[in-house]
Chain A
Amino acid sequence: MREITYTEAVREALSEAMREDSNVFIMGEDIGVYGGAFGVTRGMIEEFGPERIRHTPISESAIAGAAVGAAITGMRPIFELQFSDFITIALDQMVNQAAKIHYMYGGNVSIPLVMRTPGGSGTGAAAQHSQSLENWTAHIPGLIVIQPSTAYDAKGLLHSAIANNNPVMFYEHKLCYRTKGDVPEGKYFIPIGVADIKRQGKDISVVATSYMVHKALEAAEILAKEGIDIEIVDPRTLVPLDKKTIVDSVKKTGRALIVTEAVKRSGFSSELAAVISEEESFDYLDHPVVRLAGAETPIPYEPNLEKLAVPQVNDIVEACRKIMAVK
Chain B
Amino acid sequence: MSISIKNKANLDDAALIEAYRKMCLIRLFEEKVDYFFAKGMIHGTTHLCVGEEASAVGSGIVLRNSDWITATHRGHGQTIAKGTDINKMMAELFGKTSGTNKGKGGSMHIAEIETGNLGANGVVGGGYPIACGAALTAQMKHTDQVCLCYAGDGSTNEGSFHESLNMASIWKLPVVFFIENNQYGMSGPIKDMAMVKDLSIRSVSYGMPGITIDGNNLIEVINATFDAVERARKGEGPTLIEAKTYRWKGHSKSDAKKYRTREEEDMWKTERDPIANFKAELIKAKILTEAQDVEIQTKAAETIEAAVAFAEAGIKPNADQLMTDIYAA
Instruction: State the A residues within 8 Å of B (CB).
Output: 25, 51-52, 56-57, 59, 61-75, 77, 89, 92-93, 96-97, 101-112, 141-142, 144, 165-166
B133 is an interface residue with CB less than 8 A from chain A: yes
Given the known inter-chain contacts A66-B167, A73-B68, A107-B102, please indicate yes or no for A97 contacting B130, CB distance below 8 A: yes
CA distance A92 to B105 in the complex (A): 18
- Asked whether A106 lies within 8 Å of B133 as measured between CB atoms, the reply is no
Given the known inter-chain contacts A73-B118, A73-B133, A75-B136, please indicate yes or no for A62 contacting B167, CB distance below 8 A: yes
- Of B11-19, B22-30, B121-129, B208-216, the one contacting chain A is B121-129
CB contacts (< 8 Å) of B126 on chain A: these are: 65, 92-93, 96-97
Name 19 A/B residue pairs within 8 A (Cβ), A-sorted: A51-B140, A61-B129, A64-B129, A65-B133, A66-B129, A68-B130, A69-B134, A69-B147, A70-B140, A92-B160, A96-B126, A97-B126, A102-B328, A103-B326, A106-B102, A106-B104, A107-B324, A108-B111, A166-B327
B325 is an interface residue with CB less than 8 A from chain A: yes
CB contacts (< 8 Å) of B170 on chain A: these are: 57
Given the known inter-chain contacts A101-B119, A106-B99, please indicate yes or no for A65 contacting B129, CB distance below 8 A: yes
- Asked whether A102 lies within 8 Å of B327 as measured between CB atoms, the reply is yes
CA distance A78 to B105 in the complex (A): 27
Given the known inter-chain contacts A66-B132, A106-B99, please indicate yes or no for A72 contacting B118, CB distance below 8 A: yes
CA distance A306 to B111 in the complex (A): 48
Q: Which listed residue (A56, A93, A105, A144) contacts B113, Cβ 8 A?
A: A105
CB contacts (< 8 Å) of A68 on chain B: these are: 129-130, 133
B101 is an interface residue with CB less than 8 A from chain A: yes
B166 is an interface residue with CB less than 8 A from chain A: yes
Chain B minimum-CB-distance residue to A70: B133
CB contacts (< 8 Å) of B133 on chain A: these are: 65-73, 75, 77
Q: Which listed residue (A92, A102, A142) contacts B123, Cβ 8 A?
A: A92
Given the known inter-chain contacts A57-B167, A111-B328, A166-B328, please indicate yes or no for A105 contacting B105, CB distance below 8 A: yes
- Asked whether B101 lies within 8 Å of A104 as measured between CB atoms, the reply is yes
Q: Which of B188-230 contact A (CB under 8 A)?
A: none
The 6 A-B pairs with the shortest beta carbon distances in the complex, nearest first, are A69-B133, A65-B129, A106-B102, A107-B325, A110-B328, A62-B163
CA distance A25 to B140 in the complex (A): 10
CA distance A93 to B111 in the complex (A): 17
Chain A minimum-CB-distance residue to B104: A106
Given the known inter-chain contacts A97-B126, A102-B327, A144-B327, please indicate yes or no for A69 contacting B137, CB distance below 8 A: yes
Q: What is the CB-to-nearest-CB distance from A146 to chain B, in angstroms, rounded to a whole number? A: 14
CB contacts (< 8 Å) of A112 on chain B: these are: 328
- Asked whether B137 lies within 8 Å of A75 as measured between CB atoms, the reply is yes
| Most chain A CB neighbours (cut-off 10 Å) among B102, B122, B140 | B140
B245 is an interface residue with CB less than 8 A from chain A: no
- Asked whether A56 lies within 8 Å of B327 as measured between CB atoms, the reply is no
Q: What is the CB-to-nearest-CB distance from A280 to chain B, in angstroms, rounded to a whole number? A: 23
- Asked whether B137 lies within 8 Å of A109 as measured between CB atoms, the reply is no
Chain A minimum-CB-distance residue to B327: A166
Q: Which of B96-119 contact A (CB under 8 A)?
A: 99-105, 109, 111-113, 118-119
- Asked whether A165 lies within 8 Å of B328 as measured between CB atoms, the reply is yes
Given the known inter-chain contacts A66-B129, A71-B133, please indicate yes or no for A109 contacting B111, CB distance below 8 A: yes
CA distance A93 to B325 in the complex (A): 19
CA distance A236 to B65 in the complex (A): 44
CB contacts (< 8 Å) of A108 on chain B: these are: 101-102, 111-113
| Most chain A CB neighbours (cut-off 10 Å) among B109, B129, B137, B164 | B129
